[in-house]
């Protein structure tokens, strides 16, 4: 969120009592209706036996059967130019990472929905601040999905239209006109692409949304430092322990998806690079459109996850700074730094120290709190390694360099 959104949440919080943010008993039944509707449209609704059956059937058909059939049935006549043959080669190549990421995403969602409800998965059953801001974060997550999926679909639609007008589809023991087979396969391949891409991006959006909701909880934790009494230390510890458990649970739930997606994406980029360098024909939109769309979707979804993890890890590490400044302000018995002196509103605390308050009575407790936060600020981790900005920069440099090298060999503006 930007500076204005930070100010909104910080100044529209209800006044906190002497206890941390209290769990809410229930959420309105229609709070997540848009997300549940999206799951139904993607055939990922596992709330009933019929929904599970449809989900498994759609997965097998559009993730496994259609890609295999398309690879075996689409032929390029020898009389056609080499760009058409390259297009078929790239079409076969992109089927593997697209199906692989869809399998990873589908297995992740199955494991989630078998154990957790959507409310439990997003940790929406507590925190007043989260209830104030989660609707906005949910709408933003759905917009992210649309920003990635819609432009990619339009490019894929144009490419597949051109591709199937040049290729031939043939099945043994089936006698039908070429135009009819091409149209049927065009529809199935396009729907398969939408399904597989949607499943992968849906898990990415779900992870990003979970991280953004945790950022709201950290804003609530920051507000606890407004008070100067000794009860603040106990409240901060309880709230931080609860957030830490949720971050640990999130890390364990998504670590397979993140690592497996990174392996599949990196492998597919290397293989694509080798195939591009091995091809000696001229590059065109017809021959390389599939590869461009596949790379763009893969990296958009993956870095959506990594950026979300880096943001929440940055917030977790920033708590130490706020606690240190709070400890310093109370120790010196003076006001904290003015908000105008810092551009990051999340680092600002407002402490009005009463002259009658005995600040030295809980000095050691404050010091212990700062030390505790300093050693428990990793945020989202993968087997102990924090997904922070340093790791993000490394991954971005690696993947971006690889993809730009591929695109420089593939894309020709003519």
pLDDT tens for the chain, 414 residues long, are: 444 554 444 444 433 333 333 333 444 445 577 778 878 888 888 878 888 898 999 999 999 999 998 888 877 655 555 555 566 777 778 889 999 999 999 999 999 988 888 888 888 765 566 666 777 888 888 889 899 999 999 999 988 888 888 777 777 666 555 677 888 888 999 999 999 999 999 999 999 999 888 888 888 888 887 766 666 788 888 888 888 898 999 999 999 999 999 999 888 888 877 777 766 666 666 777 788 888 889 989 988 888 888 889 888 888 888 888 888 877 775 454 444 444 444 445 555 555 545 556 677 888 888 888 888 888 888 887 888 877 777 877 776 776 677 666 655 543
| β partners of residue 386 | 381
Beta strands in 60-201 (DSSP E): 74-75, 168-169
Question: CB of 41 within 8 A of CB of 195?
Answer: no
- Rounded Cα distance, 377 and 402, in Å: 32
Closest CA to 336 of 346, 322, 355, 350: 350
The answer to pTM > 0.85 is no
- Rounded Cα distance, 36 and 397, in Å: 36
Crossing angle between the packed helical segments 3-11 and 178-223, to the nearest 10 degrees: 50
- Rounded Cα distance, 99 and 195, in Å: 10
| 115 phi and psi angles, rounded to 5 deg | -110, -40
CB atoms within 10 A of CB 72: 12
- Rounded Cα distance, 34 and 285, in Å: 36
- Rounded Cα distance, 303 and 309, in Å: 9
What angle (nearest 5°) sits at the alpha carbon of residue 121, between those of residues 116 and 125? 100
- Rounded Cα distance, 120 and 89, in Å: 44
Helix (H) or strand (E) run with residue 2 in it: none
Helix (H) or strand (E) run with residue 381 in it: strand 381-382
Residues 218-271 pLDDT 10s: 888 888 877 666 667 888 888 888 888 989 999 999 999 999 999 998 888 888
Q: CA quadruple 321, 326, 331, 332: dihedral positive or negative?
A: positive
Question: CB of 265 within 8 A of CB of 299?
Answer: yes
- Rounded Cα distance, 29 and 43, in Å: 21
CB atoms within 10 A of CB 327: 18
| 352 phi and psi angles, rounded to 5 deg | -105, 110
Instruction: Name the residue with tokens 């929904």.
Output: 51
CA distances (Å), origin 330, targets 16, 139, 231, 342 = 20, 40, 14, 20
Closest CA to 118 of 242, 239, 50, 30: 30
CB atoms within 10 A of CB 186: 19
């Amino acid at each position: 969120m930007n500076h204005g959104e930070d100010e909104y949440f910080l100044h529209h919080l209800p006044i906190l009592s002497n206890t941390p943010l209290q769990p809410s008993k229930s959420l309105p039944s229609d709070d997540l209706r848009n997300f549940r509707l999206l799951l139904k449209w993607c055939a990922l609704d596992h709330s009933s036996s019929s929904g599970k059956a449809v989900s498994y059937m759609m997965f097998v058909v559009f993730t496994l059967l259609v890609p295999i059939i398309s690879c075996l049935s689409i032929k390029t006549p020898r009389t056609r130019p080499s760009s058409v043959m390259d297009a078929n080669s790239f079409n076969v190549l992109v089927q593997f990472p697209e199906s692989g990421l869809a399998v990873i995403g589908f297995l992740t969602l199955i494991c989630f929905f078998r154990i957790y409800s959507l409310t439990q998965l997003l940790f929406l059953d507590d925190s007043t601040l989260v209830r104030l801001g989660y609707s906005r974060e949910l709408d933003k997550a759905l917009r992210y999905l649309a920003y990635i999926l819609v432009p990619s679909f339009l490019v894929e639609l144009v490419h597949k239209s051109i591709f199937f007008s040049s290729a031939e589809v043939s099945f043994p023991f089936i006698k039908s006109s070429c135009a009819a087979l091409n149209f049927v396969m065009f529809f199935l391949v396009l729907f398969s692409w939408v399904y597989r891409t949607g499943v992968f991006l849906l898990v990415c959006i779900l992870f990003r949304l979970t991280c953004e909701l945790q950022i709201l909880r950290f804003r609530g934790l920051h507000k606890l430092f407004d008070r100067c009494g000794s009860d603040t230390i106990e409240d901060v510890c309880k709230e931080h322990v609860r957030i830490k458990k949720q971050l640990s649970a999130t890390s364990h739930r998504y670590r397979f998806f993140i690592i497996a997606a990174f392996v599949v994406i990196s492998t597919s980029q290397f293989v694509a690079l080798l195939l591009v360098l091995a091809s000696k024909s001229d590059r065109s939109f017809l021959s390389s459109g599939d590869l461009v769309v596949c790379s763009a979707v893969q990296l958009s979804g993956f870095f959506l996850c990594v950026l979300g993890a880096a943001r929440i890890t940055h917030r977790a590490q920033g708590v130490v700074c706020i606690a240190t400044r709070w400890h310093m302000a109370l120790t010196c018995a003076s006001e904290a730094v003015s908000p105008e002196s810092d551009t990051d509103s999340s680092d600002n605390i407002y402490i009005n120290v009463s002259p009658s308050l005995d600040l030295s009575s809980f000095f050691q407790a404050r010091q212990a709190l700062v030390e505790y936060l300093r050693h428990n600020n990793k945020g989202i981790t993968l087997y102990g390694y924090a997904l922070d900005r340093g790791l993000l920069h490394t991954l971005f440099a690696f993947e971006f360099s690889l993809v730009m090298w591929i695109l420089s060999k593939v894309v020709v503006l003519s």
